[in-house]
A and B are shown apart, each in its own frame.
Chain A
Amino acid sequence: MKKTYLRQSFDTGIIFGIVHIFCVLIAFNAMLGSLLAKIVNVTSSLTSPAVGALIAYAVILGLWAGIASALRQRELSDGKRLLASLVTGSSSGLLAAVLVGIFQLMLILNINPRDYLTNLSLPFMQACLYSLPGLLGILANFFTFLISAFVGGLLVVGWNLHGFASIRHQINNAPKNWIAKLRSGSAKKQLIQKYVFYALLFVLIAILPLEWGSYWNYVIGTVGLYVIMGLGLNIIVGLSGQLVLGYIAFFAIGAYTMALLNAPIPHNLMWGFWPALVLAILLAALAGFLLGLPLMRLRGDYLAIVTLGFGEIIRILLNSDLLTSFSGGPRGVQGIHGPTIFGQVFSDVNYMYLIILAVALAMYVYNRLQHSRTGRAWLAIREDETVARATGVNTNKYKLLALVIGAGFAGLAGAISAAMNQFIGPGDQSLMASINVLCEIIVGGMGNIPGTLLGAFALKGLPELLREVENFRMLAFGALLVAMMILRPEGLIPSQRPTLELPEETPPATSSTLTDAAKIKPPEENPHD
C-alpha cells in the first residue's frame, strides 16, 4: 500500500531525529562544533562545546532534513512540499526536544549519566539546551529543527534544488562518463590525449615527491605500497576468483625477510637491501605455493577461512615466545637498514621514487598478465571453474600460479615497507590489514588497475584526510564503506574487458604457429556473407 506524502515526510523526520540523537550521544555535534570553532577561532571542547556551534550543527541537519523531504515529494505542488518539509521538521524536532527534555530532567534531578553515556557531561547537556532555563531550551531545540527544515523546504521550492538529485546522479556516473569521454574521439585525438596525459603524469611524478614534504611522501608512499598489494590480491581475487582473507601474511613474510636479513638484532646478517628484496619476493611466493598446494580443492568461503587462518597463524607465530629468538617476538625488528644511494641512506624522497618504480613494475606485470593466455585462463576459472576445466584449462595449476604471483607482489610491498619504516612488528600483521586490502580492490572496482589505484587512495588516503575528526574517523570510515557498497556495488571504476583489434578480412591461415592446427583448416571465406 502507498503511504500518504505526509506520513512519508513524518518518517523522514523520524529518521533524521534518530540520526540527530545518535550524533548527540556520541558528541558528534560537539565535534562539528569544535571544527567550526577552530575556523572562527572560538575555544570549544567536546565536553563543553560553544552553544553557537551546536546551533549551527542543528541548523545544518534541519536544513538537510527539510530539503530531503521536499525533494522527495517531487510530483507534488509547492504548498504541499512546504507542508512536507514542515512535518519533517516538526517530527525530527520532536525527537530532539524529547532528548533535551530528558537532559533537562537529569540536570534538575542532578543525575550524572557519564558512567554509562560517556559524553553526557553536565556542561555538555547545558550546551545542548543552548544553556537556556526550563522549557525554553527544549522549545528552542524544537524550533531550530522546525524552522531550518522549513527554510530547507523554501530553498527547494524557491529556486528549485532538483540540482542536488541530478548532481548526485552525475557524481555517481562521473567515472564512467569520464572514461567514456577519454575513449571517444578519433584515434589520433586519443593518441594525443594519451601522450599529453602521460607527459603530465611524468612531470607530476618527477616533481611532487621533492615538493610535498615528508608527511605526504609517507602517506602517498603507503598508498603506493597498498596499490602493489591491491594488484597482487587482484590477481588472486579479481582475476582467478579465489577469495583470500589472510593476504597480509605474505606481506609479513616479505617484510620479515627484509628485516631479519638487514637488521643488527636478532641475526645481524646484513645482506644489503637488494638481495633481501629478491629473496623476500621469492619466499612470499613460495609461501603462497605451499599454502595453495593442498587447498586447490577448496572453493569460495572455505578457502577464505583457511587463508584467514593462515594469516592468523603467521601473526601469532611471529608474536610467540616460540620464535622470539628468531623473529624478535612482540618487540619486532628495529633499525632495519635501507638501501643506500651514493653511499648515503635513502631519504623519504628516494623511497618515494623507489615505490613509484615498484608500482610501475607491478602495474606493468599485472597489465601484461591480464591480457595473456594466462589472464584469460584465470578469468575463465573465475567465471565458471567447471567449464574452464572441461575446456582444457588446468585449473589447479592456474589457481596456484595466481596465488604464487599475488603472494610475490605482497612480498615486494612488505620488503619495501620494512625498509622504509626501519621497523617491523607483529602488530602490523593484523586481520584488519588483510581486510583493508580486500576492501581496497572491491571499493575501487575489482580486477582493474585504475580501480585499484583509486581504492588505495580511498582506503589509505581517506583516513589520513579524516584525521581532523579524530575518534570519529573509523566510524565515518565504516559508514562510508557501507554507503559505498550500496551506491556503487561494482566499485568506483567498474572493470571492462579490452577491445582487441580483430583482423577485418581474415588473411591465409598462419596456423603453422599453432601446434597441430595443421589438421584443421578453418574456412578462409565463410558461408554466411
Chain B
Amino acid sequence: MTENIIECREVTKIFGGLTAVNKVDVFVPKSSIFSIIGPNGAGKTTLFNCISGFYTPEHGEVYFEGEPLRGKTTDAIASMGISRTYQNIRLFSNLTTIENVLVGQHHRLRETWVDAILNTRRYQTEEKASIQEGVRWLNFVGLQGLGNTPARSMPYGAQRRLEIARALGSNPKLLLLDEPTAGMNPQETLEMTALIRRLRDEFGITIILIEHDMHVVMGISDHIAVLDFGLKIADGTPKEIQANPRVIEAYLGPGGAALAKKYSRNK
C-alpha cells in the first residue's frame, strides 16, 4: 500500500447534470509509468484536474503519499511535488524559455523581493544556481542554446518539451503528462518516449500519462487504466488490457472483441 504514490478512491466529479468522472479508483505505484487511456470525453483530463487540484471532486478522495489533497490549493499541491503539462500547450508565452523553467523552480527558491532589491548573497547564489539548473533541464529535454528565445516563437514540438522542462523545474515526485506526443511526427514521438523513460529510470519520477497513441502507451506503461464515459472499465498491465474485451469494445464498438481476436490469431 505504501508503495502507491497516488491513490484515487472513488473519485467522482459532476458538471451540472453529467458525471465526468464516476467512482474511479486509481492506484499508482512509486516510480512507475501509469497510462490512462480511453475515448475522447472519457474523463481523463478531468481526473488529472482532480489530482492537480483544479477541481475538487464531489465524492471520493485523492491521496498523495498517503496525504489527502482535498482543500489544498493548486500551488500547495504543486509544491508537494505534483506537476503537470497541458493538453493544449499552456506556456508563459511572452517569457523566454529559461524564464519558463525558472518559474517552474519558483516554489523551491527562497529568495524574496527584499533579497532582490538589496541584491543579497542569497539572491545572487540562488539566481546563479537556478539558472544553471534551468539550463541543464533545457539541455535535458533537448532545447540547448534556446534559453533566451521567447517561448511563443518556438516550434510546436519544442514547446511540448519546454512544458516538460518547466514541470521538471519544480522537482516533482509525480508528473502528469496530458497527451505529450499529440501532433508529433514519429521521430519526435520516439524522442519523447525515450525522454519519458529516462525520467523514470534516471530520476525515479512517477509518471501518469494520458495518451492516444497506442504504440507509445503499450510501449512504455507499467500499468494502464481505461476510462469510458467517466467509468474505469479496466485496469492492469498492457498485456491484460490488450486482451480485455471490454476495452476493445470501448474502442472498436460492439463485436470488436471477436474482430481483434481474429486479427491477433492471424499475426
Contacts and interface: CB of A to CB of B under 8 A. Distances in A.
A193 interface: no
A513 B171 CA distance: 14
B150 A376 contact: no
B59 interface: no
Q: Which of A389, A394, A522 has the most CB of B within 10 A?
A: A522
A390 B150 contact: no
Given A384-B90, A392-B75, A529-B144, A365 B133 contact: no
Given A383-B92, A506-B136, A517-B108, A390 B102 contact: no
B106 A390 contact: no
Given A377-B103, A522-B133, A522-B137, A390 B171 contact: no
Contact of B131 (A390, A394, A502, A516): A502
B107 A393 contact: yes
B83 A497 contact: no
Interface in B156-172: 166-167, 170-171
A519 B105 CA distance: 14
B202 A375 contact: no
Nearest to A508: B132
B106 A377 contact: yes
Interface in B48-107: 52-54, 73-75, 77-79, 83-84, 86, 90, 92-96, 98-99, 102-107
Interface string B113-156: 10111010001011111111101110110101001101000000
B262 interface: no
A392 B107 CA distance: 6
A499 interface: yes
A375 to B, nearest CB: 7
Interface stretch (A47-55, A117-125, A366-374): A366-374
B251 interface: no
B112 A523 contact: no
B116 A383 contact: no
A391 interface: yes
A41 B220 CA distance: 89
A373 B147 contact: no
A373 B116 contact: yes
A278 to B, nearest CB: 16
Given A393-B106, A394-B75, A375 B116 contact: yes
B261 to A, nearest CB: 40
Given A395-B75, A526-B139, A376 B132 contact: no
A372 B115 contact: yes
Contacts of B117: 364-365, 368-369
Contacts of B130: 373, 514
B136 A502 contact: no
Contact of A513 (B73, B119, B125): B125
B113 A497 contact: no
Q: Which of B125, B126, B171 has the most CB of A within 10 A?
A: B171
Contact of A497 (B94, B109, B137): B94
B92 A526 contact: no
Q: Which of B54, B111, B136 has the most CB of A within 10 A?
A: B136
A373 B106 contact: yes
A391 B104 contact: yes
B166 A391 contact: yes
Interface in A480-529: 497, 499-500, 502-503, 506-507, 509-511, 513-517, 519-520, 522-524, 526-529
Contact of A500 (B52, B98, B126, B136): B98
B267 interface: no
Given A375-B116, A376-B95, A390-B75, A514 B106 contact: no
Interface residues of B, number: 63
A405 interface: yes
B133 A517 contact: yes
B47 to A, nearest CB: 15
A65 interface: no
B208 to A, nearest CB: 15
A170 interface: no
Interface in A350-403: 364-365, 368-369, 371-377, 379-380, 383-384, 386-395, 401
A67 to B, nearest CB: 39
A400 to B, nearest CB: 12
A222 to B, nearest CB: 26
B38 to A, nearest CB: 23
Contacts of B132: 503, 506-507, 509-510
B113 A514 contact: no
A510 B77 CA distance: 26
SS class of chain A's interface: helix, strand, loop or mixed? loop
A17 B95 CA distance: 47
Given A379-B94, A391-B83, A526-B144, A369 B113 contact: yes
Contacts of B86: 387
Contact of B113 (A405, A511, A526): A405
Contact of B116 (A368, A389, A502): A368
Contacts of B73: 389, 394
B13 to A, nearest CB: 17
Given A383-B95, A392-B170, A393-B103, A506 B139 contact: yes
B142 A528 contact: yes
Interface in A251-286: none
B110 interface: yes
A529 B86 CA distance: 28
Interface in B216-241: none
Interface in B166-216: 166-167, 170-171, 198, 202-203
Contacts of B77: 390
B142 A526 contact: yes
Contacts of A513: 125-126, 129
A373 B167 CA distance: 16
A522 B164 CA distance: 14
Interface in A402-446: 405
A369 B191 CA distance: 38
A341 to B, nearest CB: 27
Nearest to A390: B74
A387 B94 contact: no
A372 B142 contact: no
Given A383-B95, A514-B108, A520-B203, A390 B129 contact: no
Contact of A523 (B54, B94, B140): B140
Given A372-B123, A394-B75, A497 B95 contact: yes
Given A369-B116, A372-B115, 15 more contacts: A372-B123, A373-B127, A377-B103, A384-B92, A386-B90, A390-B54, A394-B73, A509-B133, A513-B126, A513-B129, A514-B126, A514-B133, A516-B108, A516-B171, A520-B171
20 contacts: A372-B116, A373-B112, A373-B116, A379-B94, A388-B92, A390-B53, A391-B104, A393-B107, A394-B75, A401-B113, A499-B148, A500-B96, A506-B135, A506-B136, A506-B139, A509-B133, A520-B203, A526-B142, A528-B144, A529-B144
Interface of B: 52-54, 73-75, 77-79, 83-84, 86, 90, 92-96, 98-99, 102-113, 115-117, 119, 123, 125-133, 135-137, 139-140, 142, 144, 147-148, 150, 166-167, 170-171, 198, 202-203
User: Closest 5 CB pairs between A and B?
Assistant: A372-B116, A392-B107, A392-B78, A383-B92, A522-B136
